[in-house]
């Protein structure tokens, strides 16, 4: 890890009587910083999709070439989430995340001056690669600053950055067209969002903090001694310190069956999500007889219905299910199975739209809860590596089933074949949800057994 990205420790220690106040203030700043920062990553990624009509019209690119550019970026992003998140385990989260944002902004600036397919191909691969620097620092920061009992709610709040960033892209690009004119579509589509991302990088550097101990505070398991995180178990097992990213990955992630189970949960969730999202416009227009306006409404509802259910699932996983993440995911997937049948078989436009909306409400629940569960099946110093494996599996494997394999089945046996892919994915997701839950129960019992052996005399430094 280069010196610039290494974690920096404060030489000053926070006085005992100020630990609680400083801890709560810094973790709020960190949550705000990673939420704004990750939303900015979306602004300099999803803006490319809005530029595709101009790529076809002004740069004379074919539809196939535009489709290839989108695929290049998606594949590069899926691969990058794997190794970039692993590297983030050994880095200062704010510097790693801010550097990724700045690099994405620079690529967008160069895109604004590019005119050929080859140049665009190279640049979108680089853009997808640098996009992978965003997610790892976010999960690492949440794992370092928030105990297990709060991660459902906190993770749900951070998860809204997806929708915030995705929702702001079109208004930002539209404002760019208003300021610079349609003849300067490169400035509106690439340079203006790049400026926003650079501002976002400054916000990340200002707000996001390293681990509590890097800020002169005790570690999280000392601030919250009742927290049942894996850091306590690893400490008991005398885990070696100063491990490389590869050593962390091969020791705590690669042989960890819980990480593989939760990664496969997310893989099949992505199959259903992209199987619905990618093919919904064509299916509704060609098979269900929707108008373009009716299809657009169904598509909009599918995407935006997720915000309230994600927040709700975070709350109930913390409060009702006592930190167990998979029960709400299992309930959601059972309901999704029924709604896909309704979406497939219904002849009514209204009923079809309702079923699509319910799937949209629910599909992000297991996706979000899988991301929270990932933080809880490895120690905090291995969260980035675990997130990287899950990201690779979901984006490279899961989306391939939902897009390429789905399309292959539609071509060979019709739309029924595509829906068989979705039903299979739901069933497999349910199986791995159950296995993930059983693994979480086992880890919980191990943490409780270790806690009962401690002196349990030290008072908590903060009530959360």
275-289 per-residue burial string, b: 16 or more CB within 10 A, e: under 16: bbbbbbeebbeeebe
**Domain boundaries, given as residue ranges, for the chain:** 15-213, 250-453
- 20-44 tens-digit pLDDT: 999 999 999 999 999 999 999 999 9
Most confident of 7-16, 253-262, 379-388: 253-262
| 417, HSE (Cβ side, Cα atoms, 13 Å) | 13
pLDDT band of residue 110 (cuts 50, 70, 90) is very high
Please give the CATH architecture assigned to the domain spanning 15-213. Answer: Up-down Bundle (1.20)
At 295 the pLDDT is 66
Say what the pLDDT of residue 461 is: 40
Tokens of 336: 């999704």
What is the full DSSP assignment across 353-377? HHHHHHHHHHHHHHHHHHHHHHHTS
**What is the torsional sign of CA 257, 445, 377, 221?**
negative
In angstroms, the CA 276 to CA 115 distance is: 33
Instruction: Look up tokens 């530029």; give the residue.
Output: 51
* pLDDT band with cut points at 50, 70 and 90 for residue 13: confident
Topology given in CATH for the domain delimited by 250-453? Growth Hormone; Chain: A; (1.20.1250)
Reported confidence tier of residue 208, pLDDT bands at 50, 70, 90: very high
pLDDT at 171 over 70: yes
The Cα–Cα gap between 410 and 412 comes to 6
In the prediction, which pLDDT does 454 show? 55
Spell out the residues 6+ positions from residue 308 whose beta carbon is closer than 8 angstroms to its own: 361
**pLDDT tier at 338 (50, 70, 90 boundaries)?**
very high
**% pLDDT > 70, the chain:** 89
Which of the listed ranges 106-110, 169-173, 225-229 does the model predict with the highest average pLDDT? 106-110
The two domains 15-213 and 250-453 share their CATH topology (first three levels equal): yes
Give the pLDDT of residue 111: 93
Q: Which of 36-40, 139-143, 201-205 has the lowest mean pLDDT?
A: 139-143
CA atoms within 13 A of residue 330's CA, in its CB half-sphere: 15
Per-residue pLDDT, 79 = 87
What is the structure's pLDDT at 187? 92
pLDDT at residue 160 tops 80 = yes
- In this predicted model, what pLDDT tens digit does every residue of 308-319 receive, in sequence order? 888 888 889 888
Average pLDDT over residues 382-408: 86
Scored b (16 or more CB within 10 A) or e, 319-350 reads: eebebbbbbbbbbbbeebbebbebbbebeebe
Q: What is the pLDDT of residue 463?
A: 43
Q: Which of 305-309, 381-385, 449-453 ranks highest by mean pLDDT?
A: 381-385
Neighbours of 78 (CB within 10 A): 23
């Amino acid at each position: 890890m280069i010196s610039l990205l290494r974690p920096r420790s404060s030489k000053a220690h926070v006085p005992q009587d100020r630990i609680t106040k400083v801890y709560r203030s810094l973790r709020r700043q960190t949550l705000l910083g990673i939420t704004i920062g990750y939303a900015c990553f979306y602004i300099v990624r999803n803006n490319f999709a809005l530029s595709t009509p101009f790529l076809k019209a002004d740069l004379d690119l074919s539809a196939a070439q535009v489709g290839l550019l989108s695929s290049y970026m998606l594949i590069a992003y899926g691969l990058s989430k794997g190794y970039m998140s692993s590297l983030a385990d050994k880095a200062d989260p704010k510097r790693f995340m801010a550097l990724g944002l700045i690099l994405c902004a620079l690529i967008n600036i160069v895109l604004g001056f590019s005119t050929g397919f080859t140049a665009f191909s190279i640049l979108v691969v680089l853009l997808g690669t640098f996009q992978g620097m965003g997610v790892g620092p976010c999960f690492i920061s949440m794992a370092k600053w928030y105990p297990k009992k709060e991660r459902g709610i906190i993770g749900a709040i951070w998860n809204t950055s997806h929708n915030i960033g995705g929702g702001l892209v079109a208004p930002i690009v539209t404002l760019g067209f208003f300021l610079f004119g349609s003849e300067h579509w490169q400035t509106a589509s690439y340079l203006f969002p790049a400026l926003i991302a650079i501002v976002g990088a400054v916000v990340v550097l200002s707000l996001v903090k390293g681990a509590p101990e890097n800020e002169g505070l005790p570690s999280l398991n000392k601030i919250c001694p009742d927290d049942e995180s894996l850091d306590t178990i690893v400490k008991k097992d005398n885990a070696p310190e100063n491990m490389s990213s590869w050593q962390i990955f091969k020791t705590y992630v690669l042989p960890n069956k819980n990480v593989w189970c939760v990664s496969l949960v997310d893989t099949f969730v992505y199959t259903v999500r992209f199987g619905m999202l990618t093919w919904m416009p064509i299916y509704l227009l060609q098979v269900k007889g929707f108008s373009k306006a009716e299809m657009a409404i169904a598509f909009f509802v599918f995407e935006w219905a997720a915000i309230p259910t994600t927040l709700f699932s975070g709350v109930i996983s913390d409060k009702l299910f006592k930190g167990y993440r998979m029960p709400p995911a299992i309930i959601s997937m059972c309901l999704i199975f029924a709604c896909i049948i309704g979406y497939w078989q219904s002849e009514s436009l209204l009923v079809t739209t309702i079923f699509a909306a319910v799937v949209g409400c629910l599909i992000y629940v297991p996706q979000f809860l899988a991301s929270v569960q990932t933080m809880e099946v490895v120690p905090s110093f291995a969260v980035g590596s675990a997130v990287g494996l899950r990201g690779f599996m979901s984006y490279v494997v899961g989306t391939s089933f939902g897009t390429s394999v789905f399309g292959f089945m539609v071509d060979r046996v019709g739309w029924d074949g595509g829906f068989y892919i979705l039903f299979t994915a739901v069933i497999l997701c349910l199986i791995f949800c159950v296995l993930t839950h059983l693994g979480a129960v086992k880890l919980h019992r191990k943490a409780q057994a270790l806690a009962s052996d401690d002196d349990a005399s030290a008072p908590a430094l903060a009530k959360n």
